[in-house]
Amino acid sequence: MKYLCLLFFIAGSNALYAAGIDRNLLTIGNSYQLNADTDTIVRKKSLSVGVSYGSDALFFGRTGPIKYPFVTGDAIYNTKSGVFIYGSVLKVLGYAPVDEVDVGGGYFYKFSKSFSGAVSYTRFIFNKNANVIKSASSNDINFKNAYDWKLFKTTIILDYLFGKSNDFFTTVSTSKYFETSWSIFDDKDYLSFNPSFNVIVGTQNFVQRYEVDHNYQYVLPPAVLENLNLSAARRNRIFNVLNYSFKVPVAYNRPHYTLEASWRYSMPVNVEGSLENRRESFFNFTFYYLFY
């Protein structure tokens, strides 16, 4: 967006399109979000606050055994120097009052008009009864770099997650941002679009950790439990393609706020453990307001 600051909730994480600040909602000009899919960077002191709804929690291309629709409240404070801090509160609908709280910070850098990036650290704090698959991890170190080729933008995100399980992820995204040259209600609003194709490569030790933490109660029938071979979990350590996805966000923008709706089609591959992930559509709705 013309007036937006850095909104960096990775993108990702991508770390989670559903728990805490969405890394794709906190991004560098790209989703988890606060809209990371439809902005450009303005280096100035600012505060962004937002709320979002998601149809299911998606964590690096994997979902839990049942759907977990959620709502989040997010805030990010940016300084002129490029340092930023952020926080997020997550509630899975129908469960605990608060399932997760995320806090973190980082630094945004820009090498040229076309090449920018950010490094950040996030701490995930879960309710002890949290059921989202992300709950197997409690820390994330994230590096994100984006290069704008004009015809399209390439973004590469590196994540190291550690806690009860350790995992590495690389997310590669190709996107094309464009906005309308005409207004909707007056000369201060416009629509923006940023369709993208994304590939996630990484390990998936978090899947086995999630199963152990929940005593396999959600994912394995009794007949399978009797003959369970835990050595199969070794395959989770392999660095492999985890997911392909398409995302189409559409946003209505004004100088200080944005309303965005997005659709993502997720295609999990190389699914290990016992989670029966399948192709699925995800819907997200986000509103955020910018103070500066």
CATH numbers and ranges of domains, the chain? 46-291 (2.40.160.40)
pLDDT category at 106 given cuts 50, 70, 90 is very high
Question: Which structure tokens are listed for 189?
Answer: 């609003």
Higher pLDDT, 42 or 254: 254
Share of the chain above pLDDT 90, in %: 54
Q: What is the pLDDT of residue 179?
A: 95
Contacts 24+ apart (CB under 8 A), 118-122: 118/6, 118/8, 118/28, 118/142, 118/143, 118/144, 119/143, 119/144, 120/8, 120/10, 120/84, 120/144, 122/10, 122/15, 122/20, 122/21
- What confidence score (pLDDT) does residue 263 get? 97
Residue 231 neighbours by CB under 8 Å, 6+ apart: none
Top-confidence range, 24-38, 78-92, 275-289: 78-92
Most confident of 59-68, 173-182, 236-245: 173-182
Mean pLDDT of the chain: 80
273: pLDDT strictly greater than 90: no
For 212, phi and psi rounded to 5 degrees? -65, -45
Confidence at residue 73, expressed as pLDDT on a 0 to 100 scale: 96
* pLDDT score of 229: 53
Give yes or no for residue 4 having a pLDDT over 90: no
Q: For position 76, what pLDDT does the model report?
A: 95
Q: Which of 26-30, 41-45, 231-235, 263-267 has the lowest mean pLDDT?
A: 26-30
pLDDT of residue 228: 52
pLDDT at 7 over 60: no
- Please tell me the predicted confidence (pLDDT) of residue 180: 94
Q: Give whole-number Cα distances, 266 to 18, 21, 32, 42, 247, in Å.
A: 14, 19, 15, 31, 9
Q: What is the mean predicted confidence (pLDDT) over 33-55?
A: 69
Q: Inform me whether the pLDDT recorded for 205 exceeds 90.
A: no
Top-confidence residue, 64 or 78: 78
* Whole-number pLDDT of residue 271: 81
Residue 200's pLDDT is what? 97
